[in-house]
DNA sequence: CCGAATCCTCAGCGATACTG
DNA sequence: CAGTATCGCTGAGGATTCGG
């Protein structure tokens, strides 16, 4: 359970610490760009520019920013090849791959219910 | 695949329309509050105020806003009991329940890798 | 109790330019 | 090619209020 941070439970100190950390991680990762990046890296290693093309519509800034965040949380690994021009490659780590599985689930879900959603939207917008 | 919107594929018109719709839905739903709301509603029906308590830290405005969005996309059902004071209950629909499964997966993931992430963060922050 | 509207603020984000 | 920094703006989102 991530939504509610328990208060007054026994063994409180550690529980709430874990919960607030979980919540923090959740807030980091539950964002559109992070998901799309993870999705794209699922196929395999990509370099920065390739990733930029893979994730339609992302800006240079958002890409670096999210990559740093994902790297910090240990979801992607960053490999710099000290050539010129520089070549930087990004790969999913094992935790990243694990998360990818659930992100894939979300993509499947989206395609599965696409029609229903479209219908529901039209009903609502009246 | 949601990340990249294919261009120049055969049968292009419908594919890109579906993709852009998928992308739009993805952008709607892949946000922190939506996930937390879905998580909380997984337990069962909740009324507005209960939901507000369940989702720690959400503002009145964000809650209504996300609930409207989820309702529009057909993930939650809104039931108004015409009593006084009013009583409004929210429930996950079948598509909502289906998505909840993957959101649960993400919660499990979070708790599973909590330790690794904490370590990774400390390494990174130096 | 629930929802919509209004105001106001601050951070997210894009654009641009500069380093290695 | 990849990353960082700066600037400026739009809009997300909190606080508050009123209405049903």
What pLDDT shows up at residue A12?
56
Q: Can you tell me the mean pLDDT for B46-64? A: 97
Residue B6's pLDDT is 56
Spatial distance between the Cα atoms of B1 and A113, rounded to a whole number of angstroms:
15
Q: Which of A18, A95, A121 sits opposite B72 (nearest CB)?
A: A121
- What is the percent of chain B with per-residue pLDDT over 70, rounded to a whole number? 88
* Comparison of pLDDT for A78 and A2, the residue scoring more: A78
User: Using DSSP, how many helices (H) and how many strands (E) does chain B show?
Assistant: 5, 3
DSSP assignments along A63-109, one per residue: HHHHHHHHHHTTSEEEEEE--SS-EEEEEE-HHHHHHHHHHHHHHHH
Residue A65 domain-assigned (yes or no): yes
Q: What is the pLDDT of residue A6?
A: 55
Q: Please, what's the largest Cα pairwise distance for chain A?
A: 58
Q: Which helix (H) or strand (E) holds B76?
A: strand B76-81
Which nucleotide comes closest to A50 if you measure CA to C1'? Answer: D1
Return chain A residues 20..79 having CB < 7 Å to nucleic acid strand D. 47-49, 52, 60-61, 64, 67-68, 78
Confidence grade of residue B20 (pLDDT, cut at 50, 70, 90):
confident
Asked if residue B24 is part of any domain, the answer here is no
Is A116 exposed, middle or buried, given 0-12, 13-18 or 19+ CB atoms closer than 10 A? middle
Q: Please state the domain count of chain A.
A: 1
- Between the CA of B48 and the C1' of D17, what is the distance in angstroms? 19
Q: Write down the pLDDT at residue B44.
A: 94
Query: For residue B5, is pLDDT > 70?
Result: no
Has residue A38 been placed in a domain?
A: yes
Residue of A nearest to B73 (CA): A117
- In the structure encoding, which two tokens stand for residue B35, read together? 């996930």
Query: Nearest-CA residue to the C1' of C20?
Result: A86
In a domain, A95, yes or no: yes
Considering only A38-52, A102-116, B5-19, B65-79, which range has the smallest mean pLDDT?
B5-19
| Residue B1, pLDDT above cutoff 70 | no
Question: What residue in B sits closest to A15 (Cα-Cα)?
Answer: B111
Q: Which residues of B touch A100 (CB under 8 A)?
A: none
A20-31 pLDDT, tens per residue? 888 899 899 999
Q: What pLDDT does A18 receive?
A: 81
Give the dihedral of Cα atoms B79, B63, A36, B115; nearest 10 deg.
Answer: -110
pLDDT (tens digit per residue) in A36-81:
999 999 989 999 999 999 999 999 999 999 999 999 999 999 999 9
Task: Determine the structural domain holding residue B94 and report its residue range.
Answer: 33-125
Distance between CA atoms of residues B12 and B115, nearest Å? 45
Burial of B11 (0-12, 13-18, 19+ CB in 10 A): exposed
The Cα–Cα gap between B117 and A50 comes to: 26
**Nearest-CA residue of chain B relative to A1?**
B107
Residue B18 lies in a domain: no
Contacts of A109 in chain B (CB under 8 A): 95, 98-99, 102
Q: Quote the pTM value.
A: 0.92
Whether residue A120 is contained in a domain is answered as yes
Domain contains B15: no
Starting at the edge strand found earlier in the chain, the sheet holding B87-92 runs B46-47, B87-92, B76-81
- According to DSSP, residue A31 is labeled B
Q: What is the mean pLDDT of residues B56-71?
A: 97
- pLDDT (tens digit, 9 = 90+) per residue, B65-121? 999 999 999 999 999 999 999 999 999 999 999 999 999 999 999 999 999 999 999
Determine which of B18-27, B28-37, B89-98 has the lowest per-residue pLDDT on average: B18-27
Q: B94: domain CATH number?
A: 1.10.10.10
The closest nt to A67, taking CA to C1', is: D3
A23 is a domain residue: no
**pLDDT at A82 exceeding the cut of 70:** yes
Contacts of A53 (CB under 8 A, 6+ apart): B4
Residues of chain B found within 8 Å of residue A106, distances taken between Cβ atoms: 26, 29-30, 99, 102
Distance from CA of B113 to the nearest CA of A (A): 7
Closest protein residue to D5 using CA and C1' atoms? Answer: A61
CA nearest A25: which of B74, B25, B38, B112?
B112
């Amino acid at each position: 359970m991530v939504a509610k941070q328990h208060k007054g439970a026994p063994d409180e100190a550690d529980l709430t610490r874990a919960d607030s950390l979980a919540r923090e991680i959740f807030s980091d990762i539950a964002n559109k760009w992070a998901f799309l990046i993870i999705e794209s890296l699922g196929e395999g290693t990509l370099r920065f520019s390739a990733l930029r093309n893979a994730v339609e519509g992302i800006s240079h800034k958002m890409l670096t920013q999210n990559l740093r965040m994902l790297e910090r949380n240990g979801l992607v690994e960053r490999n710099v090849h000290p050539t010129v021009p520089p070549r930087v490659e990004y790969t999913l780590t094992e935790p990243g791959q694990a998360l990818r599985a659930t992100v894939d689930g979300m993509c499947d879900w989206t395609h599965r219910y696409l029609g229903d959603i479209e219908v529901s939207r039209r009903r609502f917008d009246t």
